Amino acid sequence: MIRLKNIFLAPLLAMSSITFAQGTFANSNIPQSYDSHPSSIVKDFTAPEKLMSPKELLDININAMSDDPVLRNANWGFVIYDPKTKKVVSSYNETTPLIAASTTKLLTTETAMSLLGSNFRWHTLLEHSGEIDADGVLQGNLYIVGSGDPTLGTNKAGASSYSAIAADFLDALSSKGIKKVNGDIIIQTAIFKSNKLNQLPENIVWLENGSYYLPAGSTSEISPQNEKLIAKSSNPFPESKNFYYISPYIGQMVYADKFEGAALTTKVADPPAYLANTFRTLLVKRGTPVTGKVVTRLTETNPEPRVKITAYSSPALSEVVYYINQRSDNALAEATLRTVGFQKKGDQTASSGKIVVNEHLKSINFDLDGLNYMDGSGLSRSNVVTPISQVKFLTGLMDRNYFRNYFDSLPIAGQTGTLKSQFVGEGNGQIFAKTGTLNKVKTLAGYLKTNSGKTYVFSLLINNYAGSVDQVKNRMEQILKPALQL
């Protein structure tokens, strides 16, 4: 950054003294009608900033902010970046690693959209085993088969409530002519074909059963003698095969005719027990008796044949990402992190999710110097990033096919989400960015539309500021507003 403080200090002091003298003289001796008379000389002396370029004003403003009481002892960094020229327009401590707070969600949500696709959805199936007799009695069990949907029953991002899903399930049951259930309601987890990527996740056995694959457990207990290599094709999952997984021995997709493991553990999120109990209560209340109970059965080596009744689909991932970034929803951000972990590694844990995010960032040439990605939401103060890496990352996304959905998920200054109360005057509708807030940490990163219609990318990360949250938000606005004139 060019430091212009000393260059302009003397002329500005001189101009200020002239202005003060003229102002005093005008008030006492010059007729009031003359005060409003156009004068280019007076205009130049009283507004020397009009002689400077927007970039010069931006640099001077940044230098002045470094002496501001709120920011004087803070650790902060700022950069304005031109996505067309790929050059820094103005900056301050742009290579300093700083606490990112919720701007960390920019990395989490972009990874999900890149790897899973904007239209990715979680599915929850209602199935039945057994037969329906002539009296409408189901001689079998009902199955609610979940897939780790983090929005299930929450009303978030347009998701349905538990009661609404249960009502839809009841309608579908009635359309099948089922008037009584002589069996249990069994909760189970699964990952469906429509949820899969082209490559199966690592470290997962997939038990084929009808229209979905059930994670049956660890591959470590499958004998390598039983492994058979799958020929790559457009659909390598014929119904005649049984178990699919990435072999820990050869690192390729294989199948086995039999699974000899004894201990089976799911690696998907907790099954939707609340939905199952809500559904059972509604069935009984509406006059459809259920003789059995709600039972959790995570996995089966020999599942009974089942028939699909209906399915509930979550909102699209693009809608979930919109909700996350607009409201800075920590729970959904962490669930999204675990989802990408499962889809790539077969293990729905934060650790697997972090590995996937870091691998993805490396694959797109993210500047990893100064990056410490600790969680999906930014709640950890150990999440650090440099302003320059953020703007280069955001610039690189502008050519991606999912960029429009990603861009639309960002709060708009003065209008939506967590930016609704900021930039209500100047800058309103011109800044599209993710906010971040922790104790004595305030961050903002995204895109800026100038008054002339140009687009710039920026990052502003402030740690350990003095004063109140409102005061630091005010300083953030002061730092960014001159950039609107670029």
Signed CA dihedral, 236, 238, 240, 245: sign only: positive
CA angle 330, 331, 334 (to 5 degrees): 85
Quick one: pLDDT at residue 243?
Answer: 77
- The answer on pLDDT for 269 being more than 70 is no
Tell me the C-alpha distance between 63 and 41, whole Å: 28
Tell me the C-alpha distance between 275 and 154, whole Å: 11
**More confidently predicted of 184 and 235:** 184
Instruction: Give mean pLDDT, residues 456-480.
Output: 96
Tell me the two tokens of residue 213. 């694959």
Residue among 400, 388, 406, 404 at smallest CA distance from 457: 388
Residue among 172, 163, 158, 164 at smallest CA distance from 126: 172
Tell me the C-alpha distance between 176 and 154, whole Å: 28
The DSSP symbol for 174 reads H
The reported pTM is: 0.84
List helix spans (H) across 314-381: 317-327, 330-345, 350-363
**Average pLDDT in the chain:** 84
Quick one: pLDDT at residue 308?
Answer: 93
Out of 30-34, 362-366, 406-410, which region has the weakest mean confidence (pLDDT)? 30-34
User: What region, left, alpha or beta, does residue 68 occupy, with left being phi > 0 and alpha being psi -120 to 50 degrees?
Assistant: beta
Tell me the two tokens of residue 1. 């950054």
310-366, pLDDT tens digit by residue? Answer: 999 999 999 999 999 999 999 999 999 999 998 888 877 899 999 999 999 999 999
Tell me the C-alpha distance between 360 and 400, whole Å: 14
Q: Residue holding tokens 């991932």?
A: 317
Tell me the C-alpha distance between 340 and 337, whole Å: 5
Residue among 336, 338, 315, 314 at smallest CA distance from 325: 336
Tell me the C-alpha distance between 185 and 148, whole Å: 18
Q: How confident is the model at residue 255 (pLDDT cuts 50, 70, 90)?
A: confident
Q: Where are the domains of the chain?
A: 54-117+318-485, 123-313
By the 8 A CB rule, do 16 and 23 touch? no
Instruction: Give mean pLDDT, residues 69-81.
Output: 96
Tell me the C-alpha distance between 345 and 348, whole Å: 8
Q: Over the Cα atoms of the chain, what is R_g?
A: 30
Tell me the C-alpha distance between 393 and 107, whole Å: 9
Quick one: pLDDT at residue 157?
Answer: 97
Instruction: Give mean pLDDT, residues 24-50.
Output: 37
Please give the full DSSP string across 117-150, using - where no structure is assigned.
-TT---EEEEEEESEE-TTSEEES-EEEEE---T
By the 8 A CB rule, do 410 and 323 touch? no
The helix (H) or strand (E) run that includes residue 243 is strand 243-246
**What's the CATH architecture for 123-313?**
3-Layer(bba) Sandwich (3.50)
Residue among 292, 342, 366 at smallest CA distance from 143: 292
Two domains, one topology: 54-117+318-485 and 123-313: no
Signed CA dihedral, 14, 17, 21, 22: sign only: positive
Sequence-distant (6+) residues with CB within 8 A of 150 are 122, 269, 320, 331, 332, 335, 336, 339
By the 8 A CB rule, do 107 and 386 touch? no
By the 8 A CB rule, do 435 and 468 touch? no
Instruction: Give mean pLDDT, residues 142-146.
Output: 91
Other CB atoms within a 10 A radius of the CB of residue 72 amount to 11
Out of 138-142, 195-199, 253-257, 318-322, which region has the weakest mean confidence (pLDDT)? 195-199
107-127, pLDDT tens digit by residue? Answer: 999 999 999 999 999 999 999
By the 8 A CB rule, do 341 and 352 touch? yes
Amino acid at 481: K
Q: Which fold has domain 54-117+318-485?
A: Beta-lactamase (3.40.710)
Instruction: Give mean pLDDT, residues 183-206.
Output: 76
Residue 242: exposure state from Cβ atoms within 10 A (0-12, 13-18, ≥19) = middle
